[in-house]
């Protein structure tokens, strides 16, 4: 039980770290890529910056997706004794989210190679192919944050009821989760930034909680839960 | 009374183990079938130097062979690993709960990815063949995009399957739940799978592929011959 929480806490901090590194690279190295107006400009950027893009993608998608699994399982474990169907359903969404993020990372990895190769022989086709792949990877891992949103929201609602983490952490989780869900509305895709930033803080806070309280048992008679219930 | 319960439990264990064993053997067979077809009737398609135009031509001419191939290596394989993952988790969860649980999650994600790849191939190839009749240039671009997606999900990066096999082998390490040689094989194959993440090293995937065949088959045989973990594994290992 303790080890699950410790691994989960480490997973959470790694996930938060990948987010921070990702944002930093995004804001410095990849401003041209992000603001690339046309698929052709994007394809050219890919051909020129393949290595940096690989590292970025592996960090924000693949390392993140892998670190998410122990984190999701650790929270699910802590909430097991709450007998909450919501917590169980939310955890499944967390695991699906991990699968989708890893998928996005693997597709993107191959996409960079495909587009760079094509760019050498047929730049026009390279931009068409990139437009298609960009839609797929954006749909799975970025444009719509439904899966992560459902997970964070569901967990935070149950955690509020069970007084599992600090109150502000759970409220932050609710706001972040709702922001994630809001990205389904096409006009609200930019709310994804709230989701991203909120998530970094939530990951760090919950990760530290899991690590510092890793000796708490998940039994309902745990002193921490008991005192907080009576208070 | 207690004996009856024990008998029932061990009977359930044997049945679950048999389902996992059959899953492992089917997974190995699906892999072998896939590689056999790849080096024979589909060898032109697998040629890395072929242009998108050549690939589209081949695809249009061999649609039903490709359909069967994808259905076996992705859909049949995806179904087969689910009981295997369950059985292996059951077998290891009391000695290493974290690794057994996390490993099983990766196995289920892998099964989902295999379905996604197989379904995208089956629909995508039909779309390419249709488009090729009216606009061959667009069909080539579409083929490039679809094959990138399917390669990313199910082949070019063997990350998820590698994670599962690695965690199972680590969970079983130092216990008698699986033979030691099998764990060594699992770790070597899994590392080869993880290395495919490095661009340019996708070809190491072949080591993962061949290693996995042996791992699936061996695991299947161990589960079949030694379904209850209480029995010593040593003689099965030989």
Q: Which residue has the tokens 């390392």?
A: A63
- Find which of A99, A126, A133 to mutate to test the B interface (most B CBs within 10 Å of its CB): A99
Q: What is the pLDDT of residues A27-67, one digit of tens each?
A: 888 887 877 778 888 888 998 998 999 999 999 999 999 99
- Put simply, the answer to whether A70 touches B160 (Cβ < 8 Å) is no
| Partner A contacted by B56 (CB < 8 A) | no
- The closest of A169, A20, A151 to A75, measured between CA atoms, is A151
Predicted confidence (pLDDT) at residue B72 exceeds the cutoff of 50: yes
pLDDT at A188: 79
A74: chain B residues, CB-CB within 8 Å: none
Task: Read off the pLDDT of each residue in B42-69 and give the average, rounded to a whole number.
Answer: 87
* pTM score: 0.87
| Partner A contacted by B188 (CB < 8 A) | no
Q: What domain range is A135 assigned to?
A: 2-230
Residue in A70, A102, A110 nearest the CB of B148: A110
Contact present, B120 and B135 (Cβ < 8 Å): no
Residue A62 Cα, gap to closest chain B Cα (Å): 9
Q: What is the pLDDT of residues B113-146, one digit of tens each?
A: 999 999 999 999 999 999 999 999 999 999 999 9
What gap in Å lies between CA A176 and CA A156, rounded to an integer? Answer: 10
Residue in A73, A99, A110 nearest the CB of B151: A110
Contact present, B88 and B20 (Cβ < 8 Å): yes
What gap in Å lies between CA B69 and CA B5, rounded to an integer? Answer: 45
Measured between CA atoms, the residue of chain B closest to residue A11 is: B102
pLDDT at B7: 64
Predicted confidence (pLDDT) at residue A144 exceeds the cutoff of 80: no
Residue in B102, B140, B199 nearest the CB of A73: B102
Q: Which helix (H) or strand (E) holds A95?
A: helix A85-121
Q: How many domains does chain A have?
A: 1
Q: What is the pLDDT of residues B171-189, one digit of tens each?
A: 999 898 999 999 999 999 9
The two structure tokens encoding residue B179: 């033979």
Non-local (6+) Cβ contacts of B124 within 8 A are B142, B146, B149, B150
- Put simply, the answer to whether A109 touches B113 (Cβ < 8 Å) is no
């Amino acid at each position: 039980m303790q080890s699950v929480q410790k691994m989960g806490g480490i997973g959470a901090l790694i996930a938060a770290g990948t987010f921070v590194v990702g944002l930093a690279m995004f804001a410095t190295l990849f401003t041209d890529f992000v603001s690339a107006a046309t698929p052709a400009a994007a394809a050219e950027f890919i051909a020129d910056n393949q290595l940096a893009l690989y590292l970025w993608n592996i960090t924000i998608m693949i390392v993140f997706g892998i670190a998410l699994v122990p984190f999701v399982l650790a929270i699910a474990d802590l909430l097991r004794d709450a007998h909450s169907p919501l917590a169980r359903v939310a955890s499944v969404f967390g695991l699906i989210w991990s699968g989708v993020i890893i998928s996005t990372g693997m597709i993107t990895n191959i996409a960079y190679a495909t587009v760079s190769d094509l760019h050498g022989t047929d730049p026009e086709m390279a931009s068409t192919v990139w437009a298609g792949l960009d839609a797929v990877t954006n749909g799975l891992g970025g444009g719509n944050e439904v899966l992560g949103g459902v997970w964070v929201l569901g967990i935070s609602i149950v955690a509020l009821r069970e007084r599992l983490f600090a109150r502000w952490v759970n409220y932050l989780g609710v706001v972040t989760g709702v922001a994630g869900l809001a990205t389904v509305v096409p006009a609200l895709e930019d709310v994804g930034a709230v989701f991203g930033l909120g998530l970094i803080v939530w990951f760090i806070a919950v990760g530290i909680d899991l690590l510092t309280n890793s000796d708490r048992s998940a039994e309902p008679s745990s002193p921490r839960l008991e005192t907080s219930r009576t208070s | 009374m207690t004996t009856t319960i024990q008998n029932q439990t061990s009977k359930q264990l044997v049945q679950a183990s048999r389902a996992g064993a059959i899953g492992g053997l089917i997974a190995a067979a699906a892999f072998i079938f896939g590689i056999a077809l790849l080096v024979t009737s589909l060898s032109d398609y697998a040629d890395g130097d072929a242009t998108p135009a050549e690939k589209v031509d081949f695809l249009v001419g061999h649609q039903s062979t490709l359909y069967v191939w994808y259905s076996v290596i992705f859909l049949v394989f995806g179904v087969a690993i689910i009981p295997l993952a369950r059985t292996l988790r059951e077998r290891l969860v009391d000695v290493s709960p974290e690794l057994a649980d996390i490993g099983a999650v990766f196995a289920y994600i892998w099964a989902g990815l295999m379905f996604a790849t197989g379904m995208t191939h089956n629909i995508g190839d039909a779309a390419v063949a249709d488009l090729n009749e009216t606009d061959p240039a667009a069909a080539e671009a579409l083929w490039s995009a679809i094959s990138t997606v399917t390669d990313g999900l199910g082949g070019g990066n063997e990350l998820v399957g590698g994670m599962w096999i690695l965690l199972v082998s680590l969970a079983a390490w130092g216990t008698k739940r699986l033979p030691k040689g099998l764990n060594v094989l699992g770790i070597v194959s899994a590392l080869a799978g993880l290395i495919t993440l490095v661009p340019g090293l996708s070809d190491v995937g072949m080591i993962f592929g061949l290693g996995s065949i042996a791992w699936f088959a061996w695991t299947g045989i161990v589960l079949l011959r030694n379904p209850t973990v209480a029995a010593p594994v040593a003689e099965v290992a030989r």
